[in-house]
Structure 1
Amino acid sequence: MTNAQRLDHVEDELETVKRLLVSTASYAESAGRRLDELTIKQDRTQSHLDELTIKQDRTQSHLDQLGARIDQVGVKVDQVSDRVDSFITHTQRLFTKAGSEIEETKARTERLEALMLKLDRSFEEQKSQFREFQLTTGAALERIDRVLDYLLRQQGGNQNPPS
């Protein structure tokens, strides 16, 4: 190989190295741009993550408040349930008492009806006895009246009273 050939060969290799260096520089520039883009994207992603964390904290706070409200509602539901149970028990007692009073009232009413029937029969019997008394008294008074008339007539014809 001659010096000219070697020089051509070295120039070819230098040209190849030059192309490789240009390609590497271009790749490095492209990688730098991509790295910058990735950094920007990572910053945006981090910003989104920060916003999501804030939102998650707010959501957790709301969930905690909701849990507390649910607990309060549960306590109130238990209180209302106790009140309803108490109301039902009291109402059942009242219905039982009212039922007993109704039965007692029915029994009293039946006794009063029986007593009224007895009084009606007694009244009718007394009316009948009174009519009979009136008739017999009227008849007795008529007889007494006749006897008095007779005695008066007898005395009128006999001026001397008996001694």
Structure 2
Amino acid sequence: MKVFGICGYSGSGKTTLLEAMIALLTARGLKVSLIKHAHHGFDIDKPGKDSWRHREAGAGEIALITDKRWVLMHEARNEEPPQLVDILERLSPCDLVLLEGFKRAVHPKIEVHRPSLGKPPVWPEDCDIVAVASDQAIDCALPRLDLNDPEQVADFVLKHVGLK
């Protein structure tokens, strides 16, 4: 599986870009998976539901299975979160795994940078960033991609990972 990341500050447009890219890539016949890193807690379960009650009772893993989708929830009670490589090993085979976030992990990535957010660019400090997608012209030694052109970004990613 090829792995490529999209990183940037909150509000920069990572999710919107990835959503468009995934639609474009799957329309081209590629099988795409995504792993998102969240810095805050989240819960896909609902209080009172059977799975929530089982988790609250102490179950370490709970699988929910329907005819349309399935999910495996793992409770990290007194454990460190898994490393990215551990999650990659659990994924079903696909052509491309896109990562959202994981800006400190070692893998090729594009930084989504919006100067209007007033945040400094990450690319000068991260040698794994291979291009910058921005909505404005910026002074950058790396290839600059148009943030508003997801097809251009998708083509860059495919070429970089050797799928085009």
- The TM-score, its normalising length taken from structure 2, stands at 0.14
The answer to which structure, 1 or 2, has the higher relative contact order (CA under 8 A, 6+ apart) is 2
- The TM-score, its normalising length taken from structure 1, stands at 0.14
The answer to which structure has the higher strand fraction is 2
Structure number with greater Rg is: 1
